[in-house]
Structure 1
Amino acid sequence: MKAGIVFTGTGPILILTSYDSFEDPKFIEKVSAKGIKKFIARELPLEKVKEKYGHQFSVVLGDLHQTDDLRVLDYNGHNVFYNFSFKEMGDPIYYEP
């Protein structure tokens, strides 16, 4: 399980995913199907996300399948961006077709 901020053309979103990497071709296929063709992803510590989102995290996680899945935990870009410091974020992953 991974959590991360995905910076898109419309702003950042916070996602939970069962993919091993934000570079996994199947992950890229999934986000592309949702209209995200180009992005920057930064992984977040799962425990930090759980701590900040509490019940909402549990509800979304409960809806996440074991494999090949992703869920948007927060699509309020302002909230997502200001909930986490840059120090908490992993190295950026850039994707552009």
Structure 2
Amino acid sequence: MKAGIIFTGTGPILVLTSYDSFTDPKFVEKMATKGIKKFIARELPVEKVKEKYGLQYSIILGDLKQTDDLRVLDYNGHNVFYNFSFKEMGEPIYYEP
């Protein structure tokens, strides 16, 4: 399980995924189906996300399949951006086709 902020052209979103990498071709394909073809991903500690989102995290996680899945936990860019410090975020991962 991975959690991360995905910075897109319309703002950041917070995602949970069962993919091993934010550059996994199937992850990228799922992002493209959501209209996101270019992004910057920053991984977050799953425990921090769980702590900040509580019940919402549990509900979304309960809907997440074991493999090959992606769920948007928060699409309010302002909320996502200010909920986590840069120190909590992993190194940026750039994806551009």
TM-score by length of 2: 0.99
Question: Structure 1 runs of 4+ off > 4 angstroms?
Answer: none
1:75 Cα offset (Å)? 0.2
Q: How does 1:1-97 map to 2 (within 5 A)?
A: 1-97=1-97
1:82 deviates by 0.1
Separation in 2, partners of 1:30, 1:50: 23
Q: Distance in 2 between matches of 1:63 and 1:73?
A: 11
Distance 1:77 1:34 in 2: 16
Flag structure 2 segments of 5+ consecutive residues without an equivalent: none
Give the whole-Å Cα distance in 2 for the aligned partners of 1:23 and 1:91: 13
Give the gaps of 5 or more residues in structure 1: none
Question: For residues 51-77 of structure 1, what are the alpha-carbon distances to aligned partners after superposition, in whole Å with 9 as ceiling and x for unaligned?
Answer: 000000000000000000000000000
Aligned length: 97
The residue type paired with residue 14 of structure 2 is: L
Q: RMSD of the alignment, in Å? A: 0.3
Q: CA deviation at 1:29?
A: 0.5
Normalised by the size of structure 1, how large is the TM-score?
Answer: 0.99
